[in-house]
Amino acid sequence: MNQSPLPTQANAAAAATAPAGLAARAAALVAERPTLALTGILALLVLITGLVEPNYLSVSGARNTLLQAAPLGILAGAQTILMLTGGIDLSVTMIATGSAYVAANQSAEGAVIAIVLGIVVGLVVGSANGVGVSVFRVNPLIMTLAMSGILLGLFTAWAQTILQGSTQMGPFIKLIGGGSFLGNRIPYSVVVWALIAGGLIWLLRRTGWGRLLYAIGDNEIAVRLAGVRVWQVRITAYIAAGVLGSIGGILLGGRTGAVDLQLANAFLLPSVAAAVIGGTSIFGGVGGYAGTILGALILSVLNSMLTFLNVGQAIQQVVYGSIVLALAWGYAGLTRRA
């Protein structure tokens, strides 16, 4: 008598479903503990970069990565705030550039005045973006892209007139942006970033303002029907993003020592990518700044690795853009399934 094929078929089915079950468990773990997954990716990238360039695994290598990550992390913080509401800021790098340019131009007046006037740029532009998006209902992409062009034109003209003069940062800003302490180990810019990160995480997790950002991104109509003045919350979000853009730009200018109108251009895609890598949905309502911090560190290590491999800036932008597209596609798929 022939033996029944059923046990063999059952074993084959079990073998086929085992990888699928393992993949499902891995996906569930990533969904439940995204920070753990991001930390693992960061550690893996550090090890790979260390294999490419052994000197990278040193205090100097860590310092250089943190010097790059600090302004990127702050600019990505601006994107995180706005993406939580379903918005975005394509003018954040021009805000950063303009703020740094003003701070350099006013460096002769002292560090305090230079920094304050630089931050005023972010306050003014962030307010204009907020009013345009919230009051006049301009799409955030269109509003901030147009603002970026306006700022470029204005600062190009002003560089020959009212802002004609120094493009060198003052000594204090250079120290904060590019200096280090504890035997040249820890950059001062990382301390600034840490203070901003702590404040931003607290605001998003522990305050009514932070909860409203999530709520607006999740269901703006319900928030409005609950009596919340959504336009006011959006304006404050764009103002906060503008201030963060200014701080990031001033730190970046301090790191380079001198400024020009292309200073922060290369940071636009990475600032969005860092937030998206960190788990902030471009559709709003999901994410947080803790993940964005890891996203900024991941991109900074990736940038170092690509630099060691002699990959040009153009290819790096292709990599960043591909990351944003891939993750945006992934979030769209999850949204459709939900």
Contact 66, 325 (CB under 8 A): no
Looking at every residue in the chain, the average pLDDT score rounds to: 90
Confidence of residue 35 (pLDDT cuts 50, 70, 90): confident
More confident site: 336 or 144: 144
| DSSP string across 22-77 | HHHHHHHHHHH-HHHHHHHHHHHHHHHHHHH-GGGSSHHHHHHHHHHHHHHHHHHH
- Domain regions of the chain by residue span: 51-337
Name beta bridge partners: 213.
none
pLDDT in tens, 244-267: 999 999 999 999 999 999 999 999
Determine the Cα–Cα distance for residues 277 and 80; give it in Å rounded to an integer: 11
Work out the percent of the chain whose per-residue pLDDT is above 70: 88
| Residue of 57, 157, 173 whose CA lies nearest to 119 | 173
230-256 and 188-206 helices, crossing angle to 10°: 170
CA atoms within 13 A on the CB side of 227: 0
CATH class of the domain comprising 51-337: mainly alpha
Contact 62, 190 (CB under 8 A): no
Measured in residues, the chain has a length of 338
Determine the Cα–Cα distance for residues 125 and 196; give it in Å rounded to an integer: 20
- Per DSSP, 181 falls in state E
Tell me the residue type at 178: G
Tokens of 66: 């943190």
CA distances from residue 195 to 70, 102, 120, 207 in whole angstroms, order as listed: 11, 24, 20, 17
Contact 130, 237 (CB under 8 A): yes
Determine the Cα–Cα distance for residues 268 and 66; give it in Å rounded to an integer: 18
Asked whether residue 212 carries a pLDDT value surpassing 80, the answer given is yes
Asked whether residue 5 carries a pLDDT value surpassing 70, the answer given is no
| Residue of 117, 142, 138, 146 whose CA lies nearest to 234 | 138
pLDDT in tens, 268-278: 999 999 999 99
Contact 278, 291 (CB under 8 A): yes
Tell me the residue type at 228: V
Contact 130, 144 (CB under 8 A): no
Confidence of residue 314 (pLDDT cuts 50, 70, 90): confident
Residue labelled with tokens 């085992």: 18
pLDDT on residue 216 = 97
Asked whether residue 60 carries a pLDDT value surpassing 80, the answer given is yes
Coil, helix or strand at residue 106 = coil
Most confident of 1-5, 35-39, 110-114, 279-283: 110-114
Confidence of residue 29 (pLDDT cuts 50, 70, 90): low
